[in-house]
């Protein structure tokens, strides 16, 4: 479905040589050096520039939330989206601080938003089906979500954007992400299900039971990543997956936020493994299964701050590090430039 160009290693030696001959000891900038290598491979080895970067937050509701798997009811999804549009959430603070333009997409919140709200309407429904009772959505809805996400990414790409950062909002979405993780990694659900934003022991036990119930209910249909999304996914996870694949197809960098966005990344990799090279993993969240998921994808996150908020907050906080990697690559003098002999 997506024609993603594998990154060539043709210029790796030249890129690494440019990094190594900067006015510093070898490897002295640590993980920023590997990040600079990746940025140069994706955006060009001579002078890679990050242009018109965007933070996209995908919002949707989940039927499983009605069974009490979160500290908050589904109505909070809508309320938080309105908070985003009013500029009062953490993601607003951080995107303003680092200069990321923020847009919010309604992928399937229970109640639609007024056209004047500023929320972008890409609704696939009014919340998914409860995955422990029936499929989250149809396969047709998954494909429609991919088409919508692709069109949005294409619009940004045409406007000169070459980096998108992904965030989400959706009460109950850690349940869907945990189920996806367990299916696609083979890691037991007990090791994938976490406490989200802080549920108590009884709620945690119920959440784990319902995720396991969902996997058992759909087990015969979970041999294809598209079917995984249809059976146990979320509308926002679908569109994040589509956005990742569409951005990689267009040679754009994709900054992955926390547990939910990483679940979308995992699905995307299962659809087309070449998209992995275009992803930057921003942080290790405090959600139980995130470390194991990142390890499975051989992903090294830039930050470890114990975050568990979502919204794209970790991706926004990591953005200055991405800028720093590009800037040192482009602007830092070499030993030869500086006339330093070693």
Residue 236: phi, psi to the nearest 5?
A: -75, -35
Buried b (16+ CB within 10 A) or exposed e, 304-337: eeebbbbbbbbbbbbbebbbebbebbeebeeeee
311 is catalytic: yes
Is the distance from CB of 100 to CB of 323 less than 8 angstroms? Answer: no
The active-site residue out of 33, 78, 236, 311 is 311
Going by C-alpha positions, the residue among 41, 8, 22 that lies closest to residue 279 is 41
Tell me the H-state helices in the chain: 12-20, 31-43, 75-86, 90-98, 139-158, 173-185, 189-192, 201-218, 225-232, 235-249, 259-271, 290-296, 313-331, 335-338
Going by C-alpha positions, the residue among 165, 124, 175, 174 that lies closest to residue 146 is 124
Between the alpha carbon of residue 107 and those of residues 66, 179, 248, the distances in Å are: 18, 20, 21
Instruction: Measure the CA–CA gap between 131 and 133, rounded to whole angstroms.
Output: 5
3-state secondary structure of 305: coil
Instruction: Measure the CA–CA gap between 287 and 279, rounded to whole angstroms.
Output: 20
Residue 168: phi, psi to the nearest 5?
A: -150, 165
Question: Residue 280 — left, alpha, or beta (φ > 0 → left; ψ -120 to 50 → alpha)?
Answer: beta
Between the alpha carbon of residue 304 and those of residues 65, 75, 142, 186, the distances in Å are: 28, 30, 32, 25
Instruction: Measure the CA–CA gap between 8 and 24, rounded to whole angstroms.
Output: 27
Catalytic residues: 311
């Amino acid at each position: 479905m997506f024609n993603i160009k594998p990154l060539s290693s043709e210029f790796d030696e030249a890129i690494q040589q440019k990094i190594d001959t900067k006015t510093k000891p070898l490897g002295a900038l640590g993980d920023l050096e590997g990040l600079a290598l990746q940025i140069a491979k994706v955006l060009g080895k001579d002078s890679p520039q990050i242009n018109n970067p965007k933070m996209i937050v995908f919002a949707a509701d989940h039927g499983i939330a009605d069974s009490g798997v979160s500290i908050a009811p589904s109505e909070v999804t809508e309320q938080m989206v309105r908070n985003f549009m009013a500029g009062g959430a953490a993601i607003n603070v951080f995107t303003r601080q680092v200069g990321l333009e923020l847009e919010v997409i309604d992928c399937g919140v229970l109640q639609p938003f007024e056209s004047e709200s500023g929320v972008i309407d890409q609704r696939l429904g009014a919340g998914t089906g409860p995955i422990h009772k029936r499929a989250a959505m149809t396969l047709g809805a998954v494909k429609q979500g991919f088409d919508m996400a692709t069109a949005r990414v294409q619009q940004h790409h045409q406007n000169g954007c070459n980096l998108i950062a992904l965030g989400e909002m959706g009460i109950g979405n850690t349940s869907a992400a945990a189920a996806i993780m367990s299916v696609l990694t083979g890691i037991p659900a007990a090791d994938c299900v976490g406490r989200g934003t802080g549920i108590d022991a009884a709620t945690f036990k119920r959440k784990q039971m319902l995720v396991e119930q969902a996997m058992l209910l759909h087990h015969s249909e979970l041999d294809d990543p598209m079917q995984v999304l249809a059976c146990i996914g979320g509308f926002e996870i679908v569109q994040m997956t589509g956005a990742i694949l569409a951005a990689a197809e267009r040679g754009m960098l994709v900054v992955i936020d926390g547990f939910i966005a990483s679940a979308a990344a995992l699905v995307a990799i299962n659809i087309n493994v070449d998209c992995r090279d275009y992803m930057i993993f921003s942080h290790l969240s405090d959600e139980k299964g995130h470390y194991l998921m990142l390890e499975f994808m051989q992903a090294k996150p830039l930050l470890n701050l114990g975050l568990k908020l979502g919204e794209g907050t970790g991706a926004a906080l990591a953005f200055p590090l991405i800028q720093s990697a590009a800037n040192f690559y482009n602007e830092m003098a070499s030993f030869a430039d500086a006339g330093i002999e070693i």
